[in-house]
Amino acid sequence: MKVLVASRNAKKLEEMQRILREHLTDVEVLGLDDVAPYDEPVEDQPTFEGNALLKARAGVASSGLPTLADDSGLCVDALNGMPGVLSARWSGPPRGSKERADDRNNELLLAQLADVPDERRTAYFTCAVALVLPDGTERVVEGRMDGVITRAVRGSGGFGYDVVFEADDRPGVTTAELTPADKDAISHRGKALREIAPIVADLLR
């Protein structure tokens, strides 16, 4: 049983593989670097669900494999829900390494919230995970993790905005300071993947 996860983000792929294999021990999870290259779609949809479906449909069309894809981002209440679907490109088009792009995004976000008091620094991560099968079957689930934006970068784990986000379920530490297992237990992606894993199992049996 093979499933394509439409991602090249190594840390995200590890996270998805780790959670899926808790539920699907007999599945072989492939990333985009494990299949023949194809033209990946531009993520131009206004919703996380739309972008996840876009990527999953493209993966199925090219590989012929059941495909999982996610789109996730950070929604900050003081910024009217932004960066939202623009999370990865908040500081402009990616330039250089993924790590440097993350640094620029975090620097910009902290600058934008510099004068926002602690009680108004609420935010949440959201994740839509789409499953598309070769027969056209589609499923989408969503997960959410509520928390606050810190005033400084902390931690070396995770990726993206993890270094500036404290989850309500783990106050006092950023999600970049959590162990992978602790993060999986509360994360938006972890919640969505745990919901979709049994759906994948049922549909592929």
Which candidate in 26, 70, 71, 146 is catalytic?
A: 71
Instruction: Please give the C-alpha separations between residue 61 and each of 16, 55, 57, in angstroms, as whole numbers.
Output: 21, 10, 6
Residue ranges of the annotated binding site for Mg(2+) are 71
Annotation marks residue 169 as catalytic: no
Residues in the chain: 205
Distance CA 33, CA 82 (A): 31
- List residues with catalytic annotation: 71
